[in-house]
Amino acid sequence: MASLHPFDPITCAEIQLAVRILESAFPGIKLRYKRIDLQEPSKHEVIPYIEAERRGEKCPRKPARLLMALFHRLDNGSFFKALLNADTKSLVSAKELPKDVQGPVDVDEMIEIEQLYPWIYGTDNPQESRRLFQCYMYIVATDHPQNNQYSLPCKFSPVFDGISRKLVRMDFLPGAADTQSTQTQPWKPVPAVQYAHDLLDEPLRTDLKPYVVQQPEGASFNVIGNAVSWQKWRFRVGFNSREGLVLHNVTYDGRSTFYRLSVSEMTVPYGDPRAPYHRKQAFDVGDVGFGITANQLILGCDCLGHIKYFDGYRSDAQGAPIQLKNVICMHEQDNGLQHKHTNYRSGAATVVRNRQLVIQMICTVANYEYIFAFILDQAANIELEVRATGILSTVPFDNENGQTVPWGTNVGPGVMAPFHQHMFSLRIDPALDGFKNTVYYEDSVPMPQDESNPYLVGYTTEQNVIRSSGSASTSVDRNRVFKIRNDHIMNPITYHPIAYKLQTMPSQMLLARPNSFGTKRAQFATRPIWVTKYQDNELYAAGEFTNQSKRSDGVEVWAARNDAVEDEDVVLWHTFGLTHNPRIEDFPVMPMERVSVMLKPDGFFTKNPALDVPPSTQSFNKSTLHPEPACCAGPQDRGQVKL
């Protein structure tokens, strides 16, 4: 496997190798695998290699190719994390984890409990160390593969032990705004609110005309393995079971920009105060994983145009490699105009369209869908776009007589969708012209009322360099902008260090009280900005093991080291999200809610980097003109319009 790049995702053969190594290390003991994946190389070991690549020089020896595995010994139930060396085909280490650490849910486990609609258990008891699943029960007709069970929730909810598969407890769910549960009653049939086209009462629209994207000469990108080049950008598409899509070693026009970009975590805490809903808080990355929940995409459904798909591999519980076909798609899109100027004297216009490269995955985490796309453009911008769609997580509610709750929305007969938040953490590992960078923020502030500002209209900026690891706030009122710069490289025209800025999405942070488990487990979601000093293995904002965690062990811990981060190998984390108080229009399937953050060059270049994009012309774009009705010579001749 010497031909693999250090950032290439795990292969089929590597999963098989890992299992062989572990079987030799634990002879005669049956193992159950939760994860077998790539262990990314140490940054300091891989930098010489990728720098030689970037410069087109002879590459030095690659760092060791390492794999990681999480598994249970089935003889005694103990839970291990192992590191393996794929080059030497040997075990590096195998460490037993503490008893209260729960690994993520794996696909086989999900299938085994699947009849019961398992939900992440959450936490409300610091003494609990069993692996638990709370099963929310729904009624689903079996006459169609897309019946919407979320429309018909039941009022009982068994809790199972995930290891023994035994019933631990039956929870009865409240039916009213108070927290009392009532005895379960025979189900009064109500029709499900359906989303599938086959199951709708109303006819489909018939007036939508085809819209076809044609790329007769193919795409503008080139792909070799997982390495992509497009419009001065170069990067590697990474994939792992946990984060799914990762971008590695992103360069523009031969210059380093970002070492690694990923969605490091997300959490979805619910605001319904009634037991057992208080435990509803999923960590979709740490508890489950975007890689294993990524949809296997189908040509013509999820993207238009000319599509490149990337596959991945995961292991099943027995260690067999499972191919994940088409889990990442990549395509170009046209996003309107990028720049235009009309010289109003001469009438001459320069028009350049905004061609983008979209690298996308779509994850189904039980009821919800998340669409994550890194979008690169020709002006050296990188956007992370997140679309939330899918189905609301619903609860039973006796709403037939006009009852409402102040923490949710009635979305159908007997069904209510509680308020919740979706909190994302974007991890940005910058490498702007080198691996030592500085994070600072810049506020726009009025100038003082003194002789420097005689007309009182002046304003200027205040810079605050983040010198020690920690956190920071966003501020709309001060138009706070976070920037990453390289103090060693000055822009020859602005006379400021070269930089990128992070266009944040200022968002409401966690609404759970600070002393709740909800907040203790998701400290990353209490502050919009975190800055840490890079260390290997510090990838996940809420820590490595989130399932039934009692507290998080992630970015807030690393930030608290008070490391010097000015002109250092620094990592910037941005928490953003949605406070999602459901609309009834979000049911039975939710029109996407879009959020976006961007990385934009700010003094990284000496002028607009998209100037050399060819002009937008009809001969290239081949648009068509809507025909004018023959009867109409001018507006004054138009007949009365009744539409």
Which are the catalytic amino acids? Answer: 284, 368
* Residue whose token pair is 């794929």: 86
Q: Tell me whether strands 497-503 and 408-412 are parallel, antiparallel or unpaired.
A: unpaired
Q: Rounded to the nearest whole angstrom, what is the least distance from the CB of residue 463 to a copy of itself in the complex?
A: 10
- Backbone φ/ψ region at 279: left (φ over 0), alpha (ψ -120 to 50), beta: alpha
Q: Rounded to the nearest whole angstrom, what is the least distance from the CB of residue 385 to a copy of itself in the complex?
A: 8
What secondary structure does DSSP assign to 216-265, as a single string? TT--S-EEETTEEEETTEEEEEEEETTTEEEEEEEEETTEEEEEEEEEEE
* Residue whose token pair is 């994070």: 439
Q: Which of 272, 356, 292, 288 is nearest to 610 (CA)?
A: 356
Structure token pair of residue 195: 């989303």
Give whichever of 146 and 468 is closer to a copy of itself, judged by the CB atom: 146
Q: Rounded to the nearest whole angstrom, what is the least distance from the CB of residue 252 to a copy of itself in the complex?
A: 12
Give whichever of 72 and 353 is closer to a copy of itself, judged by the CB atom: 353
Contact indicator for 79, 545 with CB cutoff of 8 Å: no
Order of strands, sheet of 118-120, starting from the edge strand that comes earlier in the sequence: 118-120, 132-135, 156-161, 167-172
Q: Which of 36, 368, 426 is nearest to 247 (CA)?
A: 426
Contact indicator for 19, 36 with CB cutoff of 8 Å: yes
Q: Rounded to the nearest whole angstrom, what is the least distance from the CB of residue 364 to a copy of itself in the complex?
A: 4
Q: Rounded to the nearest whole angstrom, what is the least distance from the CB of residue 75 to a copy of itself in the complex?
A: 31
Helix (H, G, I), strand (E, B) or coil at 293: helix
Give whichever of 98 and 455 is closer to a copy of itself, judged by the CB atom: 455
Give whichever of 30 and 325 is closer to a copy of itself, judged by the CB atom: 325
Q: CA-to-CA distance for 554 and 571, rounded, in angstroms?
A: 13
Q: Rounded to the nearest whole angstrom, what is the least distance from the CB of residue 390 to a copy of itself in the complex?
A: 5
Give whichever of 437 and 469 is closer to a copy of itself, judged by the CB atom: 437
Give whichever of 37 and 544 is closer to a copy of itself, judged by the CB atom: 37
Cβ neighbourhood burial of 562 (10 Å; 0-12, 13-18, 19+): exposed
Q: Which of 484, 501, 396 is nearest to 436 (CA)?
A: 484
Give whichever of 410 and 552 is closer to a copy of itself, judged by the CB atom: 410
Q: Rounded to the nearest whole angstrom, what is the least distance from the CB of residue 27 to a copy of itself in the complex?
A: 27
Spacing of C-alpha 166 from chain mean position: 34
Q: Tell me whether strands 459-465 and 415-418 are parallel, antiparallel or unpaired.
A: unpaired
Q: CA-to-CA distance for 411 and 108, rounded, in angstroms?
A: 32
